[in-house]
Amino acid sequence: MLNATHSFDETTNAAIERIPSTRDARLLLQRAGFTLAMAAVWGFAAGCARPTLALLDVYKVPMVLSLSLLVALPAVLVARHLLDITLSTVALLIVIVSALELGALVLIAFAPLIAVYAYTSQWVAPVLAQWSAGLALLVGLVSLFNGLMKVRAPKGALVVLSAVTAVAFCLAIVQLISLATPILPVHTAFGAGIDGMLHR
């Protein structure tokens, strides 16, 4: 009887311990899905002057965003380990994805304006799209820094982790944009990756 009670208590405790991780995983998936959906809307708006390009951008832009995070993630996880920051992988991903979500809010805010200009100005629309993407990236990086600064760890280590994450993500997204080109109806320096930006 005592063994049965002990076993029941262990099972109950294990279930209780799994609740936060399950909730965190659900939160991560929700935020990731919302972020990718907003990126897809921006992609459609950015390419809507050409219907085929607009449809391709619906998956191209979220794909670039997702792959950039996946490419940057190993460097981020190694930096976390070397800096001895006690933050779970899921918790770290929540911070990063939450930052990307705020950046995606900038994209969705500009999407209707970009769609209007895509039909009315071949010159302004690509410029507006690039500026909105740059602003979204800036907002995301600032949000990432602010999110990591709330973690209970030495501030110096968190600054280094923020820098590694930002640099790795930016290096990844620049090259992946070049692989997914065209995203905009006109040629841009981003279409040639880091080489095109350095030799512009």
Condensed to tens digits (0 to 9), the pLDDT of residues 118-130 reads 888 778 888 888 8
Condensed to tens digits (0 to 9), the pLDDT of residues 155-175 reads 999 999 999 999 999 999 989
pLDDT of residue 127: 86
From CA 49, how far away is CA 13, in angstroms rounded? 57
Using CA atoms, how far residue 180 sits from 53, 64, 89, 102, 188, in Å, is 11, 7, 28, 23, 12
pLDDT grade for 37, boundaries at 50, 70 and 90:
very high
Q: Residue 141: which of 114, 112, 173, 113 has the closest Cα?
A: 173
Q: pTM of this prediction?
A: 0.81
